[in-house]
């Protein structure tokens, strides 16, 4: 990404990681379009980004579960920015696993937000990126997608599906000069995880945002953040089922 003046679209811009990344982009002089469901929160973030050096900070409303809106939204974003150099897909929810196990409707609703909505949005973005013959798509997934675990397998299944889609999309768009980056955070201290006890493996949204920025600049396809989660998940994936099923992960 150029040092200055990129055009950046962020979907799910009110999330802690997305806001931290937006601040880093603003400091580089980027023009930003922030999308989400909370207009007041988006407006407050946009005002802060202008103070931090953003060339522009626009806002747009989007509910990712309204799949029919995605094409119109992406076309409108393109019109607003002129060109989308970087698109960040950062929306998501953290399901209550037990509630999803008790209710198929709950599981489907969470999958619509974390998987289907993401796929629909990426499909619309890919069309624009192909037409402009370049750009970078950043998708925030999770280490939870690396192996199905009893504690969060609905969430993990959604993130695993997105990661596989991203892998194929990266292959599809390579010839068009479009990069697709899969960002896999570990445990991040955000409002979404406020109720969880914290330990040494936890990190901050600012750290994740820094790693994403560096990954964009360095041309990486996959980012584990912090870096040590790559090796933790390598071990978790390597555990044989006979041993893994005796754990409480």
Query: Does 155 qualify as catalytic in the annotation?
Result: yes
Element (H, E) at 137: strand 135-140
The Cα 123–Cα 136 span in angstroms is 14
CB neighbour class for 40 (10 Å; exposed up to 12, middle 13-18, buried from 19): exposed
**How big, in percent rounded to 5, are the helix, strand and coil portions of the chain?**
55, 15, 30
φ/ψ region of 94 (left if φ > 0, alpha if ψ in -120 to 50, else beta) reads beta
The Cα 9–Cα 205 span in angstroms is 18
* DSSP output for 214-229: HHHHHT-SEEEESTTH
The encoded tokens of residue 1 equal 């990404």
The active-site residue out of 73, 115, 153, 155 is 155
The Cα 71–Cα 56 span in angstroms is 23
Closest CA to 179 of 115, 126, 119, 127: 126
Contact 134, 86 (CB under 8 A): no
Give helix then strand counts, H and E, for the chain.
10, 7
Q: Which residues are catalytic?
A: 155
């Amino acid at each position: 990404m150029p040092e200055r003046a990129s055009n950046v679209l962020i979907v799910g811009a009110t999330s802690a990681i997305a806001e931290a990344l937006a601040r880093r982009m603003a400091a580089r002089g980027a023009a930003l379009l922030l999308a989400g469901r909370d207009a007041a929160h988006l407006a407050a973030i946009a005002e802060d980004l202008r103070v931090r050096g953003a060339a522009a900070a626009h806002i747009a409303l989007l509910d990712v579960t309204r799949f029919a809106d995605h094409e119109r939204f992406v076309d409108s974003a393109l019109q607003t920015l002129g060109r989308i150099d970087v698109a960040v897909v950062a929306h998501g929810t953290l399901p209550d696993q037990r509630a999803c196990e008790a209710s198929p409707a709950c599981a489907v609703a969470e999958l619509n937000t974390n998987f289907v909505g993401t796929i629909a949005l990426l499909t619309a973005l890919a069309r624009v990126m192909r037409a402009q013959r370049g750009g970078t798509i950043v998708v925030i997934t999770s280490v939870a997608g690396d192996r199905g675990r009893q504690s969060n397998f609905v969430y993990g299944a959604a993130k695993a599906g997105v990661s596989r889609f991203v892998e194929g999309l990266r292959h599809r768009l390579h010839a068009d000069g479009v990069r697709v980056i899969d960002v896999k955070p570990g445990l991040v201290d955000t409002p979404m995880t406020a109720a969880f006890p914290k330990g040494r493996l936890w990190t901050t949204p600012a750290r994740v945002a820094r790693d994403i920025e560096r990954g964009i600049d360095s041309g990486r396809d996959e980012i584990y953040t912090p870096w040590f989660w790559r090796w933790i998940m390598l071990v978790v994936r390597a555990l044989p089922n006979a041993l893994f099923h005796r754990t409480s992960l």
